[in-house]
Every structure is written in structure tokens, then in C-alpha cells.
């Protein structure tokens, strides 16, 4: 089992985890960021990369994907390591220090041991797993995706988006003018997506097919089309080079729930230093719980700084809790 030695291991590559990676670098800590998803960004990347976020201090409006990109750039000078597509399976303590055991999130593979001075859990609502598209169960070619990290990858393609939530309509809007064609397929007449997003999609002339089920995916090495069963219409075929299964994600604490953490439903109890009940294990962001907690990105940023500064002192008792202002750093 390969081993990684690091000062701070961050579990979760959402906004809180990425800001924590920056702040850990600012404190001079070597950092590893772990996430079960194959892309950084957590819930933002998985569910609403194109949606405007309006409540981040100093940014009147920012797209989700742009916020993630800026957080990655902010941390980049400190060269944090990223191990994406890996899930934190087990935590143990050796000589009072946390040791993580990681496994590939998508199936069998080589496990990794992480020997850390401290661990910060920033896993949002827990591990995200995409809801599968039943019709794709027997399809083993390329072209079935669950989120769209790069719009340009679908340039000139026929794209069928399955789902009725915000992410489905956000991606339909984002891909319009990039993809050759875009269609939204939903099994009901009503949508979970914001009404304004649905109206914009329809105003652009993007087909929205309701009361429809995807019954088959055509193609061998990659997607070539989809078969639909449409209520009151029957069988229908759509050309497709890619199918975006925007059916939502399930979230749970997964193995973290077995670590002995003080849990409140699906949240981890912390004190004012963001410390959990386990030695040198901290939590921040939506996964952290305390009286009066408000689950906002802005809250997570502050909690990340608090956690990292307190972890820095736990790692080196001679360190100062307050590191000074970033503007004083040459």
C-alpha cells in the first residue's frame, strides 16, 4: 500500500476544502485534498456549475465553475496535492496522529495510506453518488456522463439531457450554441428547476420532452442515440453523441459514519475551534454542526480558516494561533 506523509489531509474538495487548502499553504502546511468525485468543486461542480452564486463576499455574482476555478488558482502557489476519485474509508490513530486509508471510489484498485499530522473534514453533505440512469445499465460504451466539467468537450455534439432539476436546465442553457443540438427529457410535466430557467430553455427553442422515459441507449463503443417512450405518443428516437444523466445525487456520510465521530444526523459535531471529538480531526463547512450554524459557502470559508489555524497549533504548539494578515506576507 503506497503511503503519503502530509501535515494536513483535507477530505472534501468543495469550496470549503479548497479554501482550506489555500489557508493551510499560507500557514506553511503541506496539504493533500481528497474527494470521491473525479473533479474538484464538490456539490457546485456536481449540481450547478453554471448557476450564478450571489452570496460570496466581494463577488456580486459568480458562476459556480468560476468560483471553483478561482479557489484552485488561489491555492495553486502553495502546491497542494489532490487525490480525486478516492474515498476515505478508514481512520485510525497511530501515536496520537491520524492515519487515513483511501480507496478508489469507482471500484477495485490500489488503496493508499495517508499519514497526517491533522485531518480536516470538509465533505459538505457527505459523499456524492450520481443517481443511475436505468436504461444505461447494460450500456458499456462511452458518452454517458453525470455532470459536465468542460462544456467544450461537447462542442458539435448532439446532447440529450435527462432530468428536470436545476442542473439539467443549467446545462441545457450552457450547451446551447456549443453543442450541435440539445434536448431535455423528463419523466413528468412538472420540473424541480427554477421556473425562469425552464422558460429560458423554451424561449431558446431547445426541445423539452415531458412524460418521457429513456428506454434504451444505442451504440457500441459510444452513444449514437437514445430510445424514448413518450406518453400519448409512444416510441421515439433521438440522435445523441452524449447523454447527460442529470438525475440528481445521493449523499451520505459513508465510512465516515463508522469512525466514532460525534454525529448529529448527517453532521459532525464540533467545538469553537472546529475540532471534533477525535484527536487532531477537525470539520468545517456544511458537514460541521454546532448551535446556531448557518450552512452557507461564506460560513464555510470562515470555518476553514478557524480549523486550519487551530490545526497548525496542534501540529506545532510553538506556532501562533493568529498568523497575521495575508497583506503582511511578502
Q: Where are the alpha helices (DSSP H) in the chain?
A: 15-26, 42-47, 64-75, 166-175, 195-203, 297-315
Q: Which residues have a Cβ under 8 Å from the Cβ of 216 and sit 6 or more positions away?
A: 135, 226, 227
35 is in an annotated binding site: yes
Return phi, psi of residue 29, to 5°. Answer: -95, 135
318 is in an annotated binding site: no
Beta-carbon neighbour count of residue 11 at 10 Å? 27
48 is in an annotated binding site: yes
127 is in an annotated binding site: no
78 is in an annotated binding site: no
95 is in an annotated binding site: no
Helix, coil or strand: residue 281: strand
Give the DSSP letter of residue 68. H
Q: And the C-alpha cell for 198?
A: 425552464
Can you spell out the DSSP letters for 149-200?
Answer: S-GGGGTT-EEEEE--SHHHHHHHHHHBTTBSEEEEE-SSSS-SS-HHHHHH
Exposed, middle or buried, 205 (CB in 10 Å: 0-12/13-18/19+)? exposed
Q: Where are the alpha helices (DSSP H) in 84-165?
A: none
Q: What is d(CA 50, CA 113) in angstroms, rounded to the nearest whole number?
A: 35
Distances (CA, A) of 263 to 253, 278, 293, 299: 10, 12, 15, 20
Helix, coil or strand: residue 93: strand
The binding site comprises 16, 35, 43, 48, 88, 128, 286, 327
User: Annotated binding residues for FAD, as ranges?
Assistant: 16, 35, 43, 48, 88, 128, 286, 327
Amino acid at each position: 500500500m503506497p503511503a503519503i506523509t502530509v501535515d494536513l489531509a483535507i477530505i472534501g474538495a468543495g469550496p470549503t476544502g479548497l479554501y482550506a487548502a489555500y489557508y493551510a499553504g499560507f500557514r506553511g502546511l503541506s496539504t493533500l485534498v481528497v474527494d470521491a468525485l473525479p473533479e474538484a468543486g464538490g456539490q457546485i461542480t456536481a449540481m450547478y456549475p453554471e448557476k450564478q452564486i450571489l452570496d460570496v463576499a466581494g463577488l456580486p455574482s459568480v458562476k459556480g465553475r468560476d468560483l471553483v476555478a478561482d479557489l484552485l488558482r488561489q491555492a495553486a502557489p502553495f502546491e497542494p496535492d489532490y487525490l480525486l476519485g478516492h474515498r476515505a474509508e478508514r481512520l485510525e490513530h497511530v501515536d496520537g496522529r491520524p492515519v487515513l486509508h483511501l480507496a478508489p471510489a469507482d471500484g477495485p484498485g490500489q488503496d493508499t495510506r495517508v499519514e497526517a499530522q491533522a485531518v480536516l473534514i470538509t465533505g459538505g453533505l457527505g459523499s456524492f453518488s450520481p443517481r443511475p440512469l436505468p436504461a444505461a445499465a447494460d450500456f458499456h460504451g462511452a458518452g454517458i456522463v453525470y455532470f459536465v466539467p468542460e462544456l467544450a468537450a461537447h462542442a458539435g455534439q448532439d446532447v440529450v439531457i435527462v432530468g428536470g432539476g436545476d442542473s439539467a436546465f443549467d446545462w441545457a442553457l450552457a450547451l446551447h450554441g456549443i453543442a450541435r443540438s440539445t434536448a431535455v427529457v423528463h419523466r413528468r410535466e412538472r420540473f424541480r428547476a427554477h421556473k425562469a430557467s425552464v422558460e429560458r430553455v423554451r424561449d431558446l427553442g431547445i426541445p423539452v420532452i415531458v412524460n418521457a422515459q429513456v428506454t434504451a441507449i444505442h451504440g457500441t463503443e459510444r452513444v449514437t442515440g437514445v430510445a424514448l417512450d413518450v406518453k400519448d405518443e409512444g416510441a421515439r428516437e433521438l440522435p445523441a453523441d452524449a447523454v447527460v444523466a442529470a438525475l440528481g445525487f445521493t449523499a451520505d456520510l459513508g465510512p465516515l459514519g463508522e469512525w466514532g465521530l460525534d454525529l448529529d444526523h448527517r453532521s459532525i459535531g464540533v467545538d469553537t475551534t472546529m475540532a471534533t471529538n477525535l484527536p487532531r480531526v477537525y470539520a468545517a463547512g456544511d458537514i460541521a454542526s454546532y448551535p446556531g450554524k448557518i450552512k452557507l459557502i461564506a460560513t464555510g470559508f470562515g470555518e476553514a480558516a478557524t480549523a486550519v489555524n487551530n490545526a497548525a497549533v496542534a501540529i506545532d504548539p510553538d506556532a501562533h494561533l493568529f498568523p497575521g494578515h495575508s497583506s503582511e506576507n511578502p
